[in-house]
């Protein structure tokens, strides 16, 4: 799907439009994320538009020619990708249409509208919203941007790994949230090329184990149902190209409950003043809930991939 050269090219293209987000040690803390294990947090919640999705959005946008841009951008999203596409379209002076499922967080829907995009609510899960988005792109001639199955988008997300391993080459394990698989695809492609011994561990909700079930089956499967209440982690199916790379480069996928995501979001706020949405707290949730148990001296980095106050306010 993508390789290190693709990720480095994306980093060069998107540099004028995104932030180089900081990493911080998750110590000192009253209640450490993983006991004595050294953990660092990559704060993509501070990224422009509020999540890592801006990297992929600009990576795709910067490859579109004038003819492709003429009809604007069209996408489907659980929330964060839609915000990023709306932001990128506004920066480029283009119209955008974003289709979201009914469970989208009201704050994320409002942000999409505030950036000037047309917001359409369709379907109970992302996959249903995506069918509508593809139909709209076909009807209008807009440039459809897949949130995780587009190689340029995945390469943009992989730029996070370049920054993390430049900041700390000693990282042994990366914990990465999985929705459809675009973030972990990009991260794994870059990180494993830079350090073949690094472990990349995915984190999914119990109510949407898309990659866990596909890896178990040895092929891409479509979930019969999705029960998680987190739309940003609620794809019923990944793409074949994502699956192929993940199967090759991801060490394991662990599962957490929605309640673990809520607890982790509150923990990040209480301990570090980090306002993470539930998907953004997924990597931390794997540590807090014990879904992933690092060795005592294992150097772990968790990506806080999106901002939000839903758990903090509850």
- Quote the mean pLDDT of the chain: 96
Taking only the tens place, the pLDDT of each residue in 117-150 is: 999 999 999 999 999 999 999 999 999 999 999 9
- For residue 144, what are the CA distances in angstroms to 39, 40, 138, 149, 273? 37, 35, 9, 11, 36
Judge whether residue 313 has pLDDT over 90. no
pLDDT the model gives residue 116? 97
Q: Are residues 177 and 37 in the same domain?
A: yes
Q: Are residues 11 and 66 in the same domain?
A: no
Judge whether residue 28 has pLDDT over 90. no
Task: Find how far residue 272's CA is from the centre of its chain.
Answer: 21
CATH of the domain at 105: 3.40.50.1100
- Taken in order 153, 75, 277, 296, is the CA torsion positive or negative? negative
Q: Are residues 166 and 251 in the same domain?
A: yes
Look at the chain and report how many structural domains it folds into. 2
- How confident is residue 309, by pLDDT bands cut at 50, 70 and 90? confident
Domain end residue (candidates: 144, 179, 205): 144
Judge whether residue 311 has pLDDT over 90. no
Q: Are residues 58 and 111 in the same domain?
A: yes
Domain end residue (candidates: 108, 128, 144): 144
Taking only the tens place, the pLDDT of each residue in 55-110 is: 999 999 999 999 999 999 999 999 999 999 999 999 999 999 999 999 999 999 99
User: Residue 92 is part of which domain span?
Assistant: 54-144
Distance CA 144, CA 237 (A): 18
Q: Are residues 179 and 267 in the same domain?
A: yes
Q: Are residues 301 and 202 in the same domain?
A: yes
Q: Are residues 96 and 33 in the same domain?
A: no
- Find out whether 130 and 78 touch, Cβ atoms under 8 Å: no
Domain end residue (candidates: 93, 124, 144): 144
Q: Is the entire prediction scored with pTM above 0.85?
A: yes
Q: Are residues 242 and 279 in the same domain?
A: yes
Q: Are residues 47 and 58 in the same domain?
A: no
Judge whether residue 22 has pLDDT over 70. yes
- How confident is residue 221, by pLDDT bands cut at 50, 70 and 90? very high
Q: Are residues 139 and 154 in the same domain?
A: no
Cα-trace Rg, the chain: 18
pLDDT the model gives residue 314? 57
Distance CA 279, CA 104 (A): 13
Exposure on the CB side of residue 59, measured as CA atoms within 13 A: 30
Q: Are residues 92 and 234 in the same domain?
A: no
Q: Are residues 101 and 179 in the same domain?
A: no
């Amino acid at each position: 799907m993508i390789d290190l050269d693709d990720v480095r090219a994306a980093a060069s293209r998107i540099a004028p439009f995104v932030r180089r987000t900081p990493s911080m040690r998750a110590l000192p803390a009253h209640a450490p994320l993983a006991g004595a294990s050294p953990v660092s947090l990559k704060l993509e919640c501070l990224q422009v538009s509020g999540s890592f999705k801006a990297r992929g959005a600009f990576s795709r946008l910067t490859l579109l020619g004038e003819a492709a841009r003429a009809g604007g951008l069209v996408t489907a999203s659980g929330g964060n990708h839609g915000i990023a596409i709306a932001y990128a379209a506004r920066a480029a002076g283009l119209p955008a249409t974003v289709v979201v499922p009914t469970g989208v967080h009201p704050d994320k829907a409002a942000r999409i509208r505030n950036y000037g995009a047309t917001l359409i609510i369709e379907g109970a899960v992302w996959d249903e919203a995506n069918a509508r988005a593809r139909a709209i792109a076909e009807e209008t001639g807009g440039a459809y941007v897949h949130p995780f199955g587009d190689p340029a988008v995945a390469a943009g997300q992989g730029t996070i790994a370049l920054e993390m391993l430049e900041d700390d080459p000693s990282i042994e394990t990366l914990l990465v949230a999985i929705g459809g698989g675009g973030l972990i695809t990009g991260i794994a492609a870059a990180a494993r090329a830079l350090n073949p011994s690094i472990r990349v561990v995915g984190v999914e909700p119990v109510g949407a184990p898309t990659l866990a079930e596909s890896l178990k089956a040895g092929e891409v499967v479509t979930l019969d149902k999705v029960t998680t209440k987190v739309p940003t982690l609620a794809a019923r199916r990944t793409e074949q190209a994502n699956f192929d790379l993940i199967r090759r480069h991801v060490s394991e996928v662990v599962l957490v409950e929605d309640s673990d995501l809520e607890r982790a979001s509150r923990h990040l706020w209480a301990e570090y003043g980090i306002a993470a949405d539930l998907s953004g707290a997924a990597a931390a949730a794997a540590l807090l809930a014990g879904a992933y148990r690092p060795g005592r001296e294992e150097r772990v980095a968790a990506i806080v991939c999106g901002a939000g106050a839903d758990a903090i306010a509850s």
